[in-house]
């Protein structure tokens, strides 16, 4: 049985290119005792992947050169050997990587429902991005009813959930995204109170227009100039959640720091980083609450699904080009 | 009676210059009902004064053009009219401004002890800088025994007190300052565990040498490259207290943001701003505790006192040139 895989070939400087990954076809090895074989149907593409490729101290070790590229995945257990964590026929989600078949002890995987219509949800709203949104806005952002919440990447996998949770909790929510389609998605489908199209509007003006009284919580997925614009408008005791900085991940000219950070002093604000892995013991509870909101129609999620493991690199670029709406997923089961 | 005063003449771009203040001699007006006359002996020179000169949204209104320059002061009540807050002979501290005589209702002033040897202490360790240090490191920094605490401006009015309080609370304390004299002051007189001389040593190397396990709390008075260096070494759940950014106050080329701020994400760190005015209701308690520490010899403070209200501008420059040790004070009573 042939396993198509994308291996990290070299550490990119700036945006990954044709030399970054090697696409290989390898024979699936025989299972050892305690191992399972997962046929993976979908992998998750997330901005965090870019960080995992750098040889830098971070919250998890970098992907090694020659190793399969790390990625969240969903799939079905199709073989087992000996005493194993899962049985044949189980559907699971975990860190299967950018490959068609996963072989290992299944550590880090959890079982999911069998309905295939919902499987990609476990890479999005019920997966890492959804958990990031849930714990980020509730535990780090500490939102309370009546807060004005601004979220960048508001049409994306994390931001769209952040905004909807804030709406559920009684906040006023303004989203920032690129282009009229994403902005309409935020206001018309997700129920945000306002949208700022950073590709067609000055963000400072947009925040001023939408948040005349300032911002209580800013959930930042992008960094750069948008973070600086948000800092201008924070209110007293505002919280800034640092979830990501997609505008900066592929920089080759040096990171751009928030030059308006002294607004934190003037307004007694805080800027706090978060890593979703810290909340793993509470994922189950969060997933139950979020699934309930979905059933009630209060929480919507969209996946933007592309096809073919050989298209991994081109699909990866969509994370940074803005050409996707919702959670970016790659279907890898032919 | 003639009142020598320094009035704000124009808003400086970058470092204040000869056109920034106008030095005038005016006749002290007659007191109105409820007013007091204070003969001021000393004024406080603080980096925050630079911010008060900018026409920008901040935690207090800017000093108006043509108004006396705002400054903390100590003095003696020498006349009163009608029913007043203080009586003749009282020694007081408050916001008397850069002038020899204060006339007003005394709002914001509090009475202090009569021993003149201690008066400058009320501009330093028992005044705004001391309160800033106390609430900044305890309430915002949330230090606990065993923490590694790094403080910039460690020989200055705020930083020297921050470090000593952290030592009292059982922390390991490393100070950053410019020049061997200040570094010796921190380790030999104040009892810091280590010193980094940013004028003669790479700060990144200095932190690595002094804090091999990283930093739990960084108390920042300076911003710029030193803040970035500290961000490299923060440990998980580290707290960065943003108290000031003296390296950036006179910039004419734009503020330098902390380009390493994503270390907050990786390390789940927080960066939080503070303004000492928020703690005014607790000043008295803090002053009692700090006075106790001083009596026990655990808390030392040094004032660097210059002379002459006409020398205000030249003395002000010392805030930014590094040519002072401890709290910068100007004696204005001839």
All residues of chain A having their beta carbon less than 8 Å from the beta carbon of residue B262 are 223, 242, 245, 248, 255, 273
> Nearest-CA distance from A3 to chain B in Å?
33
Q: How far apart are CA A131 and CA A326, in angstroms?
A: 15
> Nearest-CA distance from A189 to chain B in Å?
30
Q: Which of B259, B265, B274 lies nearest to residue A257, judging by beta carbons?
A: B259
Flag if B256 and A259 touch (Cβ within 8 Å): yes
Q: Each residue of A68-83: pLDDT tens digit?
A: 999 999 999 999 999 9
Instruction: Tell me what the mean pLDDT of segment B142-164 comes to.
Output: 97
Q: How far apart are CA A143 and CA A136, in angstroms?
A: 10
All residues of chain A having their beta carbon less than 8 Å from the beta carbon of residue B269 are 272-273
Q: Each residue of B26-43: pLDDT tens digit?
A: 999 999 999 999 999 999
How many Cβ pairs closer than 8 A exist between chain A and B?
A: 107
Flag if A261 and B266 touch (Cβ within 8 Å): no
> Nearest-CA distance from A147 to chain B in Å?
19
Asked if A267 is an interface residue toward chain B (Cβ–Cβ < 8 A), one would say yes
Q: How far apart are CA B284 and CA B286, in angstroms?
A: 5
- Whether pLDDT at A252 is above 90: no
Winning range, highest mean pLDDT, from A56-60, A80-84, A247-251: A80-84
Q: Give me the pLDDT at residue A202, please.
A: 97
pTM: 0.93
Q: CATH 3.90.180.10 in chain A: give the residue spans.
A: 2-124+301-331
Q: Each residue of A256-278: pLDDT tens digit?
A: 999 999 999 999 999 999 999 99
Q: Which of B136, B271, B274 is the best residue to mutate to test the A interface, defined by the most A CB atoms within 10 Å of its own CB?
A: B271
Nearest to A275 by CA among A320, A305, A243: A243
Q: Which of B258, B268, B269 lies nearest to residue A257, judging by beta carbons?
A: B258
Residue B312 makes CB contacts below 8 A (sequence gap 6+) with B6, B21, B23, B43, B69, B98, B330
Q: Each residue of A101-145: pLDDT tens digit?
A: 999 999 989 999 999 999 999 999 999 999 999 999 999 999 999
Q: Each residue of A133-176: pLDDT tens digit?
A: 999 999 999 999 999 999 999 999 999 999 999 999 999 999 99
The nearest alpha carbon in chain B to A272 belongs to: B270
> Nearest-CA distance from B118 to chain A in Å?
31
Instruction: Tell me what the mean pLDDT of segment B82-102 comes to.
Output: 97
Flag if A257 and B254 touch (Cβ within 8 Å): no
CATH 3.40.50.1860 matches A128-277: no
Measured at the CA of B219, the angle between CA B214 and CA B221, to 5 degrees, comes to: 130
All residues of chain B having their beta carbon less than 8 Å from the beta carbon of residue A266 are 57-59, 273, 275
The nearest alpha carbon in chain A to B61 belongs to: A266
Q: CATH 3.40.50.720 in chain A: give the residue spans.
A: 128-277
The nearest alpha carbon in chain A to B257 belongs to: A259
Q: Give me the pLDDT at residue A56, please.
A: 84
For residues A79 and A86, the answer to whether their CB atoms sit within 8 Å is no
Q: CATH 3.90.180.10 in chain B: give the residue spans.
A: 2-123+302-331
Flag if B270 and A272 touch (Cβ within 8 Å): yes
Both structure tokens of A310: 């050989």
For residues A322 and A178, the answer to whether their CB atoms sit within 8 Å is yes
Both structure tokens of A232: 């201008």
Nearest to B147 by CA among B250, B223, B219: B219
Instruction: Tell me what the mean pLDDT of segment A214-232 comes to.
Output: 97
At residue A228 the predicted structure's pLDDT band, cuts being 50, 70 and 90, is very high
Supply the mean pLDDT for chain A.
96
For residues A222 and A245, the answer to whether their CB atoms sit within 8 Å is yes
The nearest alpha carbon in chain A to B271 belongs to: A271
Q: How far apart are CA A297 and CA A66, in angstroms?
A: 44
Flag if A223 and B262 touch (Cβ within 8 Å): yes
- Whether pLDDT at A57 is above 90: no
Query: What does CATH list as the number for B2-123+302-331?
Result: 3.90.180.10
Asked if A270 is an interface residue toward chain B (Cβ–Cβ < 8 A), one would say yes
All residues of chain B having their beta carbon less than 8 Å from the beta carbon of residue A257 are 228, 256-261
Asked if B262 is an interface residue toward chain A (Cβ–Cβ < 8 A), one would say yes
Q: Which of residues 215-254 of B touch A (CB under 8 A)?
A: 223, 228, 242-245, 248, 254
Q: How far apart are CA A219 and CA A240, in angstroms?
A: 6
The nearest alpha carbon in chain A to B60 belongs to: A266
Flag if A274 and B268 touch (Cβ within 8 Å): yes
| b/e map B204-243, b = 16+ CB within 10 Å | bebbeebbeebbbbbbbbbbbbbbbbbbebbbeebbbbbb
Q: What's the helix, strand, coil split of chain B in %, to 5? A: 30, 25, 45
CATH 3.90.180.10 matches A2-124+301-331: yes
Flag if B223 and A57 touch (Cβ within 8 Å): no
Both structure tokens of B23: 């030095």
At residue B324 the predicted structure's pLDDT band, cuts being 50, 70 and 90, is confident
For residues A146 and A214, the answer to whether their CB atoms sit within 8 Å is no
For residues B16 and B321, the answer to whether their CB atoms sit within 8 Å is no
> Nearest-CA distance from A250 to chain B in Å?
14
Pairing of strands A303-307, A270-273: unpaired
- Whether pLDDT at A309 is above 90: yes
Q: Each residue of B269-292: pLDDT tens digit?
A: 999 999 999 999 999 999 999 999
At residue A322 the predicted structure's pLDDT band, cuts being 50, 70 and 90, is confident
At residue A250 the predicted structure's pLDDT band, cuts being 50, 70 and 90, is confident
Asked if A258 is an interface residue toward chain B (Cβ–Cβ < 8 A), one would say yes
The nearest alpha carbon in chain B to A236 belongs to: B59
Asked if B301 is an interface residue toward chain A (Cβ–Cβ < 8 A), one would say no
């Amino acid at each position: 049985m042939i396993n198509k895989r994308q291996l990290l070939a070299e550490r990119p400087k700036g945006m990954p290119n044709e030399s970054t990954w090697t696409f290989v076809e390898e024979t699936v090895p025989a299972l050892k005792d305690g191992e399972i074989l997962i046929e993976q149907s979908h992998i998750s593409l997330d901005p965090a992947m870019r960080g995992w490729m750098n040889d830098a101290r971070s919250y998890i070790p970098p992907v090694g050169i020659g190793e399969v590229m790390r990625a969240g995945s969903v799939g079905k257990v199709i073989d087992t050997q000996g005493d194993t964590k899962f049985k044949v026929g189980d559907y699971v989600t975990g860190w299967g990587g950018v490959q068609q078949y996963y072989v290992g002890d299944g550590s880090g995987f959890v079982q999911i429902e069998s309905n295939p219509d919902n499987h990609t949800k476990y890479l999005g709203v019920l997966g890492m991005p959804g958990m990031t949104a849930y714990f980020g806005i509730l535990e780090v952002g500490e939102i309370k009813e009546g807060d004005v919440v601004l979220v960048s990447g508001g049409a994306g996998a994390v931001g769209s959930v952040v905004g909807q949770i804030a709406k559920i909790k009684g906040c006023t929510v303004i989203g920032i995204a690129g282009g009229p389609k994403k902005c309409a998605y935020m206001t018309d489908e997700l129920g945000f109170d306002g949208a700022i199209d950073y590709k067609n509007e000055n963000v400072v003006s947009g925040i001023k227009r939408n948040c005349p009284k300032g911002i209580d919580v800013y959930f930042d997925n992008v960094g750069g100039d948008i973070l600086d614009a948000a800092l201008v408008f924070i209110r007293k005791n505002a919280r800034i959640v640092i979830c990501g900085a997609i505008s900066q991940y592929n920089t080759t000219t040096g990171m751009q720091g928030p030059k308006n950070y002294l607004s934190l002093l003037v307004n007694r604000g805080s800027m706090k980083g978060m890593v979703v892995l810290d909340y793993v013991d509470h994922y189950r509870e969060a997933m139950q609450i979020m699934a309930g909101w979905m059933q009630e129609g209060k929480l919507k999620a969209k996946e933007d699904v592309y096809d073919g493991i050989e298209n991994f690199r081109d699909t990866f670029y969509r994370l940074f080009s803005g050409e996707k709406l919702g959670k970016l997923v790659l279907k890898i089961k032919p």
